Structure 1
């Protein structure tokens, strides 16, 4: 039967169903567990495309249930169009990065700080979608010297519980029951059918199913559903901050999405006083999948 606490290899890539995430996901030791203690970082899996070292690199952070290959085609295109280095990253408990019981933004920020230091990529342009956007915002507020400019994709620095179906997605994923030693196509069809009773949106189901992988004849979820379910309220919230980020900031919103509401704008302006807010028409929450050309054009325009 399907086990949802383990996950390793990905035969598909994010929303665009292309690219490959390989390697086993080790389990990282937990930190002390005391609030206020420095979170223990994990070594993130990443892909780095080469470019001009003199210009700030573009760093892409995916959202909940995603992986670095969500931005594979976009990263290649922007590396060619801008001549910059482009880094795509798997967050902890996602993709090929290690599993950990800690899913706090403090921990995810520390993971990224350590990776940027390791690769010598600061200051960089941080581009984060959804959960990745909150990680990017948190890092920019913590360590503004590491962020040359910031793009938050369809997310804001407030609690997004009211606009998110992610808890329902997790509950649906936990119910999946697939017999051992069935073919990959059969497993995906079975999982899709079981998810369809709880998740009507075909595109969302296909996105979630990119996390269904085969290990030793058994199908498992690659994401660490245990940790994600335990910390979903923390993931949907945003840590309270008093400092602001003075650098150039773009909030890029999907015209068909309700993740960022006008009521969020005062907090956006408080924390990011020079922020621009731009809407991509006919795009939902996953702007980079719905309108990739408009998404890239907005990034290029912001960099100009």
Structure 2
């Protein structure tokens, strides 16, 4: 790996993480009962919208799936998908997760159902030896898939998130409130929407990102968000959780790359021991960016992914 990478040996510190804590505390002792998380099967999986980037048919290697973060869509990953298809000669499936982009909506939104949808996508399209890449919400989704069903992918790349229960940044509830205000305002233009959203999302790039979800259902109707804002607002606690909390019961022994932004708090040094227990073959790369690694530093992210995957060949 490049000089930005730190190859870490497996870490088996006897640690678990309490819900919504940025620290890993709670040691396992003696013969105490193991902590387990109950899984439930959803009533049905949803078909996922996607774009296939295959470098004009020249990309014929093992497939790569790339999953966006909360409030995002496959369109956010269009440029990086094209670049990776070209550099790696591998087809890239950029996916819209449920309740995002052009995929179907459902009131249930947690990492178990997100994983089930993606596993069904892999099966439907007969995708073998896939690499799963995910940012933020997508990162926890690919981690969940890897721990639920280690045989369904060759390796994973988790971008700026860790396999812990940890509170989301306080910005996310503000974004939701701002989007609600936009819809209540029955705005007719992006400019109106931006003005309403500004107090809730002061950074222009963030507002532009959120407003990519704004659509006009018909010429006579006001603008509205194509994502189900209320459903996702109700899912914020689930997005902070992680559905595994015992590395002795679930472990992914295949290669895993964790990419974190140098100015982001989502993958602190304190989370590294638990990452090492769930993913004993993990590597870590720091990319100069905040939480939005792929959009803030696409070249740094591209280099990290290409070097990691070329090592696996």
* Distance (whole Å) between structure 2 residues aligned to residue 164 and residue 247 of structure 1: 34
CA drift at 1:203? 1.1
Tell me how far 1:164 sits from its aligned partner. 4.7
Residue aligning to 2:88: 82
The C-alpha deviation readout for 1:152-177, integer Å capped at 9, x for no partner, is: 00010112315352122111211124
Shift in Å, 1:125? 0.4
Counterpart residue number, 1:49: 53
Distance (whole Å) between structure 2 residues aligned to residue 47 and residue 162 of structure 1: 29
> Is 1:139 aligned to residue 141 of structure 2?
no
User: Is the Cα contact below 8 Å between 2:39 and 2:112 reproduced in 1?
Assistant: no
2:236 is aligned with 1:232 = yes
> Does the C-alpha gap of structure 1 residues 279 and 193 become closer, same or farther in structure 2, counting only changes over 3 Å?
same
Computing the radius of gyration from Cα coordinates, the structure with the larger value is: 2
Unaligned runs of 5+ in 1: 1-33
Which residue does 1:167 correspond to in 2?
A: 173
Distance (Å, rounded) in 1 between the aligned partners of 2:175 and 2:231: 14
Partner of 2:193: 191
In the alignment, the residues of structure 1 paired with residue 217 and residue 295 of structure 2 have an alpha-carbon distance, to the nearest angstrom, of 28
**In 1, Cα distance between the equivalents of 2:268 and 2:82?**
32
- 1:14 match: none
Q: What is the match of residue 290 of structure 2?
A: 284
Rounded to whole Å, the distance in 2 between the matches of 1:35 and 1:237 is 13
Tell me if structure 2 keeps the 8 A contact 1:46–1:68: yes
SS of 2:70's equivalent in the other structure is coil
Q: Is the 8 A contact 2:263 2:291 kept in 1?
A: yes
Report the RMSD for the aligned CA atoms in angstroms: 1.8
TM-superposed CA distance for 1:179, in Å, is 4.0
Residues 62-92 of structure 1, C-alpha deviations (whole Å, 9 max, x = no match): 0000000111011111111111111000000
In the TM superposition, 1:33-112 aligns within 5 A as 36-50=40-54, 55-112=61-118
Aligned length: 265
- Answer whether contact 1:280 1:294 (CA < 8 A) is retained: yes
2:303 aligned with 1:297: yes
- Equivalent residues of 1:39, 1:110 under 8 A apart: no
The answer to whether the 8 Å contact 1:244/1:272 transfers is yes
1:122 matched to 2:128? The reply is: yes
Does structure 2 retain, via aligned residues, the 8 Å contact 1:101–1:227? yes
Call closer, same or farther: CA 1:35–1:86 in 2, change over 3 Å: closer
- Native 8 Å contact 1:140 1:245 kept in 2: yes
Contact map agreement 1:56 1:148 (CA 8 A) in 2: no
d(CA) in 2 for partners of 1:162, 1:66: 16
1:25 matched to which residue of 2?
none
Paired residue secondary structure (1:227): helix
TM-score after normalising by structure 1: 0.83
Partners of 1:37 and 1:95 lie apart in 2 by: 24
Alignment of 1:221 onto 2:211: no
Normalised TM-score (structure 2) = 0.81
Q: State the partner residue of 2:211.
A: 209
- The answer to whether residue 278 in structure 2 is matched with residue 268 in structure 1 is no
